Structure 1
Amino acid sequence: MLSDFPLLLGAGLVLLGIFFLGFLSLKLNFPSVILYILFGVVLADLLSHNELLHFASEIGIVLLFFLLGLEFSVRRLGGIAKKIWPSGLLDIFLSLGVSMLIALGFGMDLFSAFLIGGIAYATSSSITAKLLDDKSRMANTETEFILAILIFEDLIAPIVIAILIGISTGGSFEANDLFLLVGKVIGLAALAIILGKTLFKKFDDLLDKVEDEDFKIVLLIGIAVSYGGFALYLGLSEVLGAFLAGMMLAEIAKIERVEQAVDPVRDLLLPTFFIYFGTSITFGDGIPMPLFLAVLLLWSIAAKIIVGILGGRWYGLSKKVSLRAGLSLCARGEFSVVIASVATGAIKVMGGIYIVAAAFLGMLLFERAPAIANKVYGKKKPKKKDLKVPGE
């Protein structure tokens, strides 16, 4: 019986599945993330309540964003924040606002329309960050813009979730609640900055004193998980907390030592997040509201491409790089799953199908983004150098 299925056996099968699917993705040159999600969907009945898998997935996603945060010092993040807000507001209007209007046009009530807008709003931070890393695009011109949009969405999405949960449980979400949420975000960021400038200012010296690599790993993962958990305790995203934890250490002299210590653990545990994500999606019987689903899917992809094209230009990117950024923002994921869980009946089933389809199409567009941008704007031709012949 499934209820008697040991947690440890499930964990072992998941690890073997990760090896096989990772190996298969390399042979087929196909995104491993898609295979991991589908693996979770197939084994949903078996793994949906596996606490070990859930715990591993949380650690994996926290470490991913901890390492991302290491790339952003306070000064750099402040400069990005000044440039990203127009693009972030455009994203809210197109991805959330217009999606709501489409839902209302199909006869949905205001709450259901807001719920649909929430599902369609946030790009999957985990999928996008993983693909940036896998495809060696972390150093690309558009990556800073993409990560800035993801961070902006990670600040807005918890507010959307809090409003939806407040309404769906029969409660109310008042202006005071909104101010409280914003205050928590500001407080969490301020604390990270203070700790980075005080407690972690001499962190290099501490790492030099810890000779055993295992203890370094425990220390660094403990910092990442603790701050991510503190964000959860405040009712915010663990992803945001982990990113801020990385930012606290971003100004130490030898940042590569931190990355080398955490990278192997991140690489081991991160696939479990996508598998667990797959187990959270239920399809039910058939596809409800197929026309609405198709329209929402097409618009939500178009909206992110527009955000990239217009927002990227506002951010200072070229037309070609802006298009590449927009094509890389289309995957939906973890926040959409959380918001879809608030829904009931046909909307919940449709939300699950939408998330899988948007994740799949978003990853394919991410893969093809450089090629599509080259086709639209052409490849940059190398400048010819005037070679002088000796004796001329």
Structure 2
Amino acid sequence: MIVNESVLSLGISLIALFFAGLLAAKVNQSLTAVFIVVGMILQNFFPVTIITEFIATLGIIFMLFMFGLEFSVGNLFHNQRKIFTTGIYDLFFNFPIGLLLGWILGYDLMQSLLLGGILYVTSSVIVAKSIIDLKRSANPETEYILNILIFEDMFIALFLAFFVGILNYGHIDTKGTIIVLLKTSAFFLFFIVLAKTSKKFIDKIVDIEHTELFVILILSIIVLSAGAASKIGLSEAIGAFLAGLLLSETKQRHRISEAIKPFQQFSTAIFFVAFGMSIDYKHVTNLIPIGIFIFVISSFSKVFGGYFIGKRYHLSRKAGLRLGFSLIPRGEFSIILAGTIAMNPNLPFPLKSLTGVYVLLSAILGSIIMKESDWFVKWFIERKEGETKQISDRSETSLPK
């Protein structure tokens, strides 16, 4: 009976997602934000079921696997200097903002660190899709946007592994931190070395013509890697990410992507719905002003940081500002951080609900700002030029004749 009810609620969720997705496509809006809203509405009709929770967990695993698959260990090493420097600048400008806001909101160190990660990481999905839709792939700032996104995704993958490891260890101290860092580093190093040294062997293993057996093999690699990560006290998502990184070096990379994409899209949508269903309505209204406040602060830091990176790499003022505006949307990783880690429900400002409000604002408004960034850039440059002209005119009039 429970299973039947779970299947029915899943069916209702999927049809609601379909119609909401159609509406989102018509207004060119982020599906992430729409799916969260669907979840918030559906919680009034039925709770999150076991089946929904299981599929949502798979959603995180498949999402991280697809992120890993998009990387290439070879390309990472080839472009490591530029990726590292742009990423460090972005991290320096944006991660401390979350720590500071966490302290202001009354969170402890672990909760403030988590908020730092939530506010720091840009949505790769929203930004990459917007770049394609707006035909900005050839723009001078796009290379730097992609480098920053690569660094952010890698950093958050490590951060998630470290954070879950600390939580599993029980408390944060010098010994625990060293143990978790060693464990995380060893796990990452194992997969990276395997990807570099066993490329031909892995290619031979996954070179299977039979489609069903091919899909089963890839799914087994993903799930076993996720399970291995969980077994040593890390996040399942990290195991899946590293499985993607491992298979990204194979000749079957595109075939793997096409085979897994339907599983990923389906389960990820359910993950966003489940997250929306977990947001407590009682807190949302009270959290909107705080959500707007942290959105404004974190957006300003992204724009300023992007503009700085643009100047550092000799981009034009226009390209530098577009770079900054393109980093505003938050989405999948912010939700993963808030949704996969159980936090104290008695916080002064519940972190999961606050993240929901923040992601909704940044996904919707961030997409609009990115789309209209040329208008914002033009307004800003004209304003700056006007101020410069006024200063110049005042200087000239003050000179003795």
**TM-score, scaled to structure 1:** 0.78
Contact 1:48–1:279 (CA<8 Å) still a contact in 2? Answer: yes
Contact 1:44–1:279 (CA<8 Å) still a contact in 2? Answer: yes
The range that moved more, 365-374 or 52-61, is 365-374
| Secondary structure of the structure 2 residue equivalent to 1:201 | helix
Distance in 1 between residues matched to 2:201 and 2:100, nearest whole Å: 52
| Secondary structure of the structure 1 residue equivalent to 2:248 | coil
After TM superposition, list the pairs within 5 Å mapping 1:259-298 onto structure 2.
259-284=257-282, 287-288=285-286, 292-298=290-296
Distance in 1 between residues matched to 2:168 and 2:242, nearest whole Å: 26
Distance in 1 between residues matched to 2:56 and 2:273, nearest whole Å: 8
Matched, 1:118 2:98: no
After TM superposition, list the pairs within 5 Å mapping 1:206-245 onto structure 2.
206-208=205-207, 210-245=208-243
Task: Give, in angstroms, the shift of residue 54 of structure 1.
Answer: 1.8
Q: What is the aligned partner in structure 2 of residue 153 from structure 1? A: 156
Matched, 1:363 2:359: no
Q: What is the aligned partner in structure 1 of residue 59 from structure 2? A: 60
Structure 1 residues 271 and 163: alpha-carbon distance in aligned structure 2, compared to 1, 3 A threshold:
same
Structure 1 residues 249 and 292: alpha-carbon distance in aligned structure 2, compared to 1, 3 A threshold:
closer
Distance in 1 between residues matched to 2:198 and 2:315, nearest whole Å: 36
Distance in 1 between residues matched to 2:67 and 2:31, nearest whole Å: 20
Structure 1 residues 50 and 289: alpha-carbon distance in aligned structure 2, compared to 1, 3 A threshold:
closer
Contact 1:53–1:272 (CA<8 Å) still a contact in 2? Answer: yes
Structure 1 residues 362 and 204: alpha-carbon distance in aligned structure 2, compared to 1, 3 A threshold:
same
The range that moved more, 286-295 or 297-306, is 286-295
Matched, 1:176 2:175: yes
Task: Give, in angstroms, the shift of residue 242 of structure 1.
Answer: 2.1
| Secondary structure of the structure 1 residue equivalent to 2:250 | coil
The range that moved more, 232-241 or 319-328, is 319-328
Task: Give, in angstroms, the shift of residue 291 of structure 1.
Answer: 5.8
After TM superposition, list the pairs within 5 Å mapping 1:7-156 onto structure 2.
7-44=6-43, 48-79=47-78, 81-85=80-84, 94-102=93-101, 104=103, 108=106, 111-112=107-108, 115-116=111-112, 118-122=114-118, 128-132=123-127, 134-135=129-130, 137=132, 140-141=142-143, 142-156=145-159
**TM-score, scaled to structure 2:** 0.76
Distance in 1 between residues matched to 2:28 and 2:236, nearest whole Å: 31
Contact 2:103–2:112 (CA<8 Å) still a contact in 1? Answer: no
Task: Give, in angstroms, the shift of residue 152 of structure 1.
Answer: 0.9
Distance in 2 between residues matched to 1:87 and 1:219, nearest whole Å: 37
Contact 2:102–2:111 (CA<8 Å) still a contact in 1? Answer: no
**TM-superposition CA deviations, 1:67-119 (whole Å, max 9, x none):** 3322322222234554455555555555453444445556x3xx547624522
Task: Give, in angstroms, the shift of residue 227 of structure 1.
Answer: 1.6
- Give the percent of matched residue pairs that are identical in Structure 1 and Structure 2: 23
Task: Give, in angstroms, the shift of residue 213 of structure 1.
Answer: 0.9
Query: Where do 5+ consecutive residues of structure 2 fail to align?
Result: 380-401
Q: How many residue pairs get matched?
A: 367
Structure 1 residues 245 and 309: alpha-carbon distance in aligned structure 2, compared to 1, 3 A threshold:
farther
Matched, 1:345 2:343: no
**TM-superposition CA deviations, 1:333-355 (whole Å, max 9, x none):** 32452488423335244x34431
Kindly provide the amino acid, as one letter, of the partner of residue 360 in structure 2.
F
**TM-superposition CA deviations, 1:161-200 (whole Å, max 9, x none):** 665787xxxx642111111121122111111123324555
Distance in 1 between residues matched to 2:250 and 2:324, nearest whole Å: 33
Structure 1 residues 212 and 5: alpha-carbon distance in aligned structure 2, compared to 1, 3 A threshold:
closer
Contact 2:94–2:302 (CA<8 Å) still a contact in 1? Answer: yes
**TM-superposition CA deviations, 1:320-374 (whole Å, max 9, x none):** 555444434441532452488423335244x344312321222231353253057
Task: Give, in angstroms, the shift of residue 314 of structure 1.
Answer: 5.5
Distance in 1 between residues matched to 2:72 and 2:284, nearest whole Å: 48
Structure 1 residues 57 and 135: alpha-carbon distance in aligned structure 2, compared to 1, 3 A threshold:
farther
Contact 2:338–2:352 (CA<8 Å) still a contact in 1? Answer: yes
The range that moved more, 222-231 or 90-99, is 90-99
Kindly provide the amino acid, as one letter, of the partner of residue 363 in structure 1.
A
Distance in 2 between residues matched to 1:352 and 1:74, nearest whole Å: 33
Structure 1 residues 32 and 306: alpha-carbon distance in aligned structure 2, compared to 1, 3 A threshold:
same
**TM-superposition CA deviations, 1:189-234 (whole Å, max 9, x none):** 11112332455523443444x3321211111122122223322333
Larger helix fraction of residues: 2
Q: What is the aligned partner in structure 1 of residue 393 from structure 2? A: none
Q: Give the root-mean-square deviation of aligned CA atoms.
A: 3.6
